[in-house]
Structure 1
Amino acid sequence: MVGAVVAVELVRRVLKSRLVGDRWSLAGPVVRRCTWPGFASAVLAAANAVYTPDMTGPRADGVLRHGFTLLLILCVTWLVIQAAYAVTDVVLDHLTKVEGDANRRARRIRTQITLVRRISAAVVVVVALGAMLFTFPEVRALGAGLLASAGIAGVVAGIAAQSTLGNMVAGLQLAFSDAIRLDDVVVVENEWGRIEELTLTYVSLRLWDERRLILPVSYFTTNPFENWTRHESRILGSVYLRVDWAVPIEEMRAELYRVLRDNPLWDQKDWTLQVTDITPGGLVELRALMSAADSASAWDLRCDVREHLVTFVREKYPETIPRLRVESLDRS
């Protein structure tokens, strides 16, 4: 057992030494996730290998061997799951650093890998539990009866877990249909936020004010929602101003371009200023459109432009500030 612990520690030290200079990207996740499962599995495997009935006597032999087997299955399952997570961590860390046009595809792959590894972990746990149960002779004797009633039990379990199974299927559907991905910007229930976590049963939405909106996965397959980064993160923002008819449109348009040109949030692509409506109160409605690289930049850019245009109208053309006209008829 001491030799097994020493062997695992040597492997851990070798892997840790490979972290210097990032010579092996897999070394870090393996050391971080597999150290304690490796120690536990090595100790139990060594103990099971060297154990003999002479150490405890025939009465305790069966109990100890059975206990060693159960613990070994448990630890090996733990090690397999952590090793799988370590391998996928390398891929996920690499995909997190992808920027630009490839970011959308990287987020889709991250979403799919995250769900697939959770499903794989659940399958491994179920198989391990089955293996542990079948180490009991009584369970093996009941195997035929359980198989005979599996159809009825499956129907009952399916009816009882209908909503849960529906959410799991919806989670797979979302992940592989590319409807939403991790870090997508969405508007749900009039709330703006980013997809922070996508599981088989729920979606965690991080709202703009750092609140978390938790929704079942089936919500996104049965209700409409806005996805602002479905194809790309670039977005158009708008600013509305309602001013008097005396406002100089061309000078407002020139001022808009000047403030956009000097603002680093503008992506140097789309902009325009148009007269979009005449309000019932007799005001002219101006709409300024501008593009930004993402929704967060678009929001800040809209606020900057709105503040600047309001200041520009107030200081340069105060006579165009909205006012209510009243016509008085002298009947005297």
Structure 2
Amino acid sequence: MQSFDHFLDLAERPLGTWPGALVVAAIAVAVAVGVHRIGARILTRIARPYPLMSVVLRYIDTPALVLLIFLGLGFVIFEAPDTLPLIGVLRDVETVALIGALTFLAARSAGAVGEAIVQAHPLDTDDNLNARRIHTQARVLARSVMVVIVIIGFGAALMAFPSVRQIGASLLASAGVAGLVAGIAARPVLGNLIAGLQIALSQPIRLDDVVVIQGEWGRVEEITGTYVSIRIWDQRRLIVPLQWFIENPFTNWTRNSSQIIGTVFLYVDYRMPIAPLREELERILAHAPEWDGRVQVLQVTDATDRALQLRALVSSFDSALNWDLRCRVREGLVNFVQAAYPQYLPRARADLSTDKDRHVDFAPPLERAGPEPASANTANTPADPVASRGEPGGPDARAHAAASTAPAPGKRG
């Protein structure tokens, strides 16, 4: 029986030349692919009853294949004799490739765990507050861990080269200056990373939260490792750095619950009765699918010099439904006032007459050349200012002027 050392000696003989090394490398790659396929099928059958494990296996399928291939190539490269041309360069490249494959697999594993947790808590439920909390924590923490893994992998790849290690040692000798420069240069990255961890733990915002940021209303669509994407109501996207949420105040409409109370303002005349409007509001809400039955209030909140200000408070399960409900209530109340009490709609009163047409409360009696009428019951004429008092349009200025210039009775031109 031949010894194991004799078998290794036979396996190493083809590696002395490049053609033999390439043949052995191809065989190693084929073996790695075969092992991956067989292992993937076995693990898939085992994980079939477990949805979370299936998600993890689906995420790490490609990184595992890449790692197995580089492991097979690494076996060939590191077993090749040192006399083979360019073998030293290939070993350095293989070391970096192995570190990159391991980093890829570790990062995808962290993302797979986060995605498995997310899929285990769907958002399509009536009360998804707890699910949104878990989604935010899982996604932010998974991305933070992925960033740390990539940084560690990048550092490990650099340390694989002796020249880089010497540079690192010289930098450590001046750690104070280097640390200060690195801290200033990496402040945005580190600040967003720390802010992401703070958001994941304290959760001032969560996925699908309704927020108002600098006057823009929208929903939290995505939380990455560096920024938050806010979907504005008109389908724009507001991109906000993570650190901004830690340093600035903002409005969160769904911090503790998605339920919300909306306001509807209406302006009517002072003579408008309020009781019919309250009855109409009750009727509108009874037929509104957006109303959750919690709040129904109509109050006079202000009285200006022109009209009364009425405020209706209505509640809904979330802000999107409340917007539709507010529009429905506003339209219904306006239609009711237009149909039942059109005379009580707000009116603006203004005097638009010119100076010569302006109403005169008092005018002196006309000077007439001639004897006064004998009878006190003489009928008033339009030129008589007494007759024109109380007329909406005031006295007729043209008749007044004609009567002033008319000849006295008994005199002829």
TM-score in terms of structure 1 length: 0.89
Q: Find the counterpart in structure 1 of residue 183 from structure 2.
A: 158
Match 1:13 to one of 19, 38, 41: 41
Aligned to 1:315: 339
What is the Cα deviation at residue 244 of structure 1? 1.6
Letter in 1 for 2:267: R
- The change in CA–CA distance for 1:331 and 1:145 in structure 2 (over 3 A counts) is same
Change (3 A) 1:15 1:210: farther
What is the letter of the counterpart of residue 199 of structure 1? T
The residue that corresponds to 1:227 in the other structure is: 252
Aligned residue in 1 for 2:121: 95
Secondary structure at the aligned position of 1:40 is classed as helix
- Give the CA deviation at 1:78: 0.7
One of 119, 135, 155 as aligned partner of 1:130: 155
State the TM-score, normalizing by the size of structure 2.
0.73
Contact 1:194-1:205 within 8 A present in 2 as well? yes
Gaps of 5+ in 2: 1-28, 352-357, 363-413
Q: 1:213 to 1:317 in 2, by over 3 A?
A: same
Amino acid at match of 1:147: L
Larger mean Cα displacement after TM superposition, 217-226 or 302-311: 217-226
For the aligned residues, what is the CA RMSD? Answer: 2.4
Separation in structure 1 between the aligned mates of residue 176 and residue 318 of structure 2, nearest angstrom? 52
Seen in structure 2, the aligned counterparts of structure 1 residues 248 and 214 have a Cα distance that, compared at 3 Å, is same
AA matched with 2:327 = C
Could you tell me which amino acid in structure 1 is paired with residue 347 of structure 2?
R
Shift of 1:252: 0.9
Contact 2:144 2:197 in 1 (8 A): no
Partner of 1:3: helix, strand, or coil? helix
Quote the sequence identity (%). Answer: 45
CA contact (8 A) 1:18 1:27 kept: no
| TM-aligned CA deviation for residue 165 of structure 1 | 3.3
The structure with more radius of gyration: 2
Aligned AA (2:52): L
2:230 aligned partner:
205
- Please show how residues 133-212 of structure 1 align to structure 2 within 5 Å: 133-212=158-237
| Cα contact 1:44–1:72 (8 A) shared by 2 | yes
Greater Cα offset, 127-136 or 319-328: 319-328
SS at match of 2:85: helix
- Structure 1: segments with no counterpart, 5+ residues: none
Q: Does 1:49 align with 2:57?
A: no
| Contact 2:56-2:116 at 8 Å conserved across structures | no
Deviations 1:55-108 (A, max 9, x none): x9433332222222221111121111112211221101223337344x323322
Pick from 71, 77, 86 the counterpart of residue 60 of structure 1: 86
- Over residues 119-170 of structure 1, what are the superposed CA-to-partner deviations in whole Å (9 max), with x where a residue is unaligned? 2112212222222222222233444323212332111121233344333333
Closer/same/farther in 2, CA of residues 276 and 24 from structure 1, 3 Å limit: same
Q: Say which structure, 1 or 2, has more relative contact order (CA 8 Å, 6+ apart).
A: 1
Whole-angstrom CA distance in 1 between matches of 2:70 and 2:192: 38
Residue 288 of structure 1 corresponds to 312
Cα deviation for residue 272 of structure 1 reads 0.9
Provide the aligned length of Structure 1 versus Structure 2.
327
Return the match for 2:101 from 58, 69, 75.
75
Most deviating of 88-97 and 24-33: 24-33
C-alpha contact 2:144 2:196 (8 A) present in aligned 1: no
Amino acid at match of 2:35: A
